[in-house]
Amino acid sequence: MNKYTNRQALIVIGHVFFLIYILFAILFYKERIIYADSAFNVFKIIHFKWYIIEAHRYSAVLAQSIPLAGVLLNLSLKCVLILYSISFPVVFYLCFIFVAHFLKDNVAGILLLLPLVVAIRYAYFYSMTETHQAIAFCTVFFAWINSTFYSRKVIYSITGCFISLVCLFTHPIAIFLLIFIIFYSAISNSALKFNYLLPFLVVISGFLLLKLKFTSSDSYEGSFFTNVLNSRSLFHSIKDFYPIEFLLTRSKKIYFLPFLIFLIGFIYFVKSKYYKQIVFVTGSIVVLAVVTIIAYYKGDADVQMEKDFMPVAYFAYFPFAYFISAGENVNFRKIILLPLVLIVGLSLICNTGKKYFEPRITYMTDILEATKVFPEQKIILEEKEVDPNSGITWSYPYETLVLSSLYSPNDSRTIFINSNHLDLSDTISRTCFLGAPFWIKWETEEFNPEYFHLVPGNYRYVDSLPDIKFN
């Protein structure tokens, strides 16, 4: 007889994985937080000393509570960045503990692990993405509606509706994920009657209708809804859609592993005669892939495209999760596949961090050092002086401010990249801080002095810097 059950083995794998995952978040805290939206968000959390809610995504408070507590306790900037970096893994870990220990759902436990390291490389360092959080919360919803609590209808319905709202107020992609989960569960779990699931469909439908009614077509979210609703007019130029190019060029580097995972699960479902499930999962993958391609047809940075296709890969993990969790007693030849997949995913993430994100921090540090020859703390730099391989430039003001202030607010400096060759001379005061183009003017006198200190003074325009290479 096997000494361990399958469930025990999966729980051990999960706990070990999350310890490593949190350790990664600590080791790569600068690379994960001093980057794009994460840098902007941590700046705002420190500045306002409160939660930062964008586009009604209220579930963000769950992860933001951890770094916000650090700010309110006046912990060092380094501690706040580390807390922000680990806040997301901690939330995911709590989700794992809930589904694996309380709900005892092995499949959901596996579904929480795989999206964190499979089909992503750059997106791991885009730490604050709500897509990851939506996937995690939707997995909790999957575990809940398939739990034995359906026999206690009131608790089952109220809790399920609450979890679904947490998902929906995390990211709109949760609409697709929840619908998939409800219908997949209805197909797979004969104990679930339609009237058990109806309240959840009502909540999702109501949320979708409100989103469509009150979301402006000019907003970030509204543009994607508009693209999907107007998809018929776009199909004639589908061959030129950037997401298709992205998928083709990244198929070997990013999507070979999730394809292999899906293939293993597909074979298991066919052998087990789970024909309805495999047809539904495969069809859902195709439909969501098409919707994603249409919604983001104009394209975006590759880190964004990785994030956008995460939910498609998530669907592909379902058959594999059932394959790994099947059986009472542990089958080491089968279950070893899970840690192998997780190790490969972590290795690819680590490699990406070492090859791109660590050099990016070094490059930004070198630029800050080069500007110290000027007495001004605030610099306007022409875009031609920035290596294009260093990526996003709109967030440089926040990234350089946070990076320079890491060990002392007295070292604060900021660099604004003049990407659009704007004449800013008439709009800048001595206490002005230039931020992102969509929120360009801030007052340095209102900064939190415990973390950032920019002495009132003018910006210096810099036309050229020493030749600094991004390696």
Note the pLDDT tens digit of each residue in 272-296.
Answer: 999 999 999 999 999 999 999 988 8
The pLDDT of 421-443, averaged and rounded, is 82
Residue 105 in tokens:
């759902």
Task: Encode pLDDT of 311-357 as tens digits.
Answer: 999 999 999 999 999 988 888 888 999 999 999 999 999 999 999 99
Q: Element (H or E) spanning 212, and its range?
A: helix 194-214
| DSSP 8-class letter at 156 | H
Strands (E), 132-176: none
Residue 218 confidence (pLDDT) above 80: no
The pLDDT of 5-10, averaged and rounded, is 92
Q: Give Cα 470 to chain centroid, integer Å.
A: 25
To the nearest 10°, report the CA torsion of 265, 144, 116, 175: 90
Residue 9 confidence (pLDDT) above 80: yes
**Binning pLDDT at 50, 70 and 90, where does residue 464 land?**
confident
**Binning pLDDT at 50, 70 and 90, where does residue 230 land?**
low
Residue 391 confidence (pLDDT): 84
Residue 2 confidence (pLDDT): 53
Q: What percent of the chain has pLDDT over 90?
A: 73
Residue 28 confidence (pLDDT) above 90: yes
Residue 295 confidence (pLDDT): 85
Range with top average pLDDT, 185-194, 209-218, 351-360: 351-360
**Binning pLDDT at 50, 70 and 90, where does residue 232 land?**
low
Average pLDDT, the chain: 92
Residue 1 confidence (pLDDT) above 50: no
Minimal CA–CA distance to 174: which of 58, 258, 50?
A: 58
Alpha carbons 214 and 222: distance in angstroms, whole number? 9
**Which residues, including other chains, have CB under 8 Å from residue 163's CB and lie 6 or more apart?**
137, 140, 141, 144
Cβ atoms of residues 133 and 40 within 8 Å: no
Strands (E), 350-391: 378-382
pTM, full prediction: 0.94
Minimal CA–CA distance to 111: which of 123, 96, 98, 121?
A: 96
Cβ atoms of residues 405 and 440 within 8 Å: no
Tell me the one-letter amino acid at 121: R
Residue 126 in tokens:
């885009």
Residue 412 confidence (pLDDT): 97
Residue 225 confidence (pLDDT) above 60: yes
Residue 237 confidence (pLDDT): 67
DSSP letters spanning 307-321: HHHHHHHHHHHHHHH
Task: Encode pLDDT of 243-255 as tens digits.
Answer: 998 988 887 789 9
Q: Which of 366-380, 406-420, 454-468 has the lowest mean pLDDT?
A: 454-468
Residue 67 confidence (pLDDT): 98
Q: Is 327 left (phi over 0), alpha (psi -120 to 50) or beta?
A: left
DSSP letters spanning 218-277: TSHHHHHHHHHHTGGGTGGGGGG-HHHHHHHHHTTTTSHHHHHHHHHHHHHHHHTT-HHH
